[in-house]
Chain A
Amino acid sequence: RKEVEQDPGPFNVPEGATVAFNCTYSNSASQSFFWYRQDCRKEPKLLMSVYSSGNEDGRFTAQLNRASQYISLLIRDSKLSDSATYLCVVIMEYGNKLVFGAGTILRVKS
């Protein structure tokens, strides 16, 4: 079983749509959780951290369910510029390696 698993993609959505990505992790000792965004042939960039209380950044909302070992990302009012690969990331120990999911491709079309 992979340490971090994500929804298979790609997700093809029209502009203005709401889209949700899911992610599960296998190690209950995981401490920190993130969503990264990676544009085609570019490096991953931190999109947002994920907390049990949920956190929102504009059109993006992330949620963590520790009991279910489940992480989600909701994007509202999708823009063409949101087209990218979204990577779910977990850190098992403080300050150490990032464990990435395989990523989910989002394509927003006009």
Chain B
Amino acid sequence: DAGVTQSPTHLIKTRGQQVTLRCSPKSGHDTVSWYQQALGQGPQFIFQYYEEEERQRGNFPDRFSGHQFPNYSSELNVNALLLGDSALYLCASRSPGQGTYGYTFGSGTRLTVV
């Protein structure tokens, strides 16, 4: 049973560019959340998607946007990249029945902005 799959694993972009990160949730999971983890910090919540809608959003600018597809997979888009966007981006999924205890994290996409 595949867990949460994220792609790509590593990415290098230039300031001002745009990037799209992808996440396939664990089988049976329908809710996807995205987190940003800067070096030496804990993960910070970006937003959560359920039923193809953004349900909750953290303190991130509009440059960060997302999408959830009918198959529950999700994308995170970041426009006008800044050096400070360099981080590990984590996707977490859970199923309806598991409540707060069922989050499974992917291994992340490491984004470097130069």
Contacts and interface: CB of A to CB of B under 8 A. Distances in A.
Contacts of A95: 31, 94, 99-100
A98 B43 contact: yes
Given A42-B107, A43-B108, A46-B103, A97 B33 contact: yes
Instruction: For chain B, give the interface size range.
Output: 20 to 34
Nearest to B110: A41
B40 interface: yes
A94 B45 contact: no
B43 A97 contact: no
Interface residues of A, number: 22
A87 interface: yes
B49 to A, nearest CB: 12
A32 to B, nearest CB: 5
Interface in A48-105: 49, 87, 91, 94-103
Interface of B: 31, 33, 35, 40-45, 48, 55-56, 58, 88, 90, 92, 94, 99-101, 103, 105-108, 110
A43 B90 CA distance: 7
Given A43-B107, A95-B94, A100-B44, 5 more contacts: A31-B100, A43-B90, A94-B100, A95-B99, A97-B48
B42 A87 contact: yes
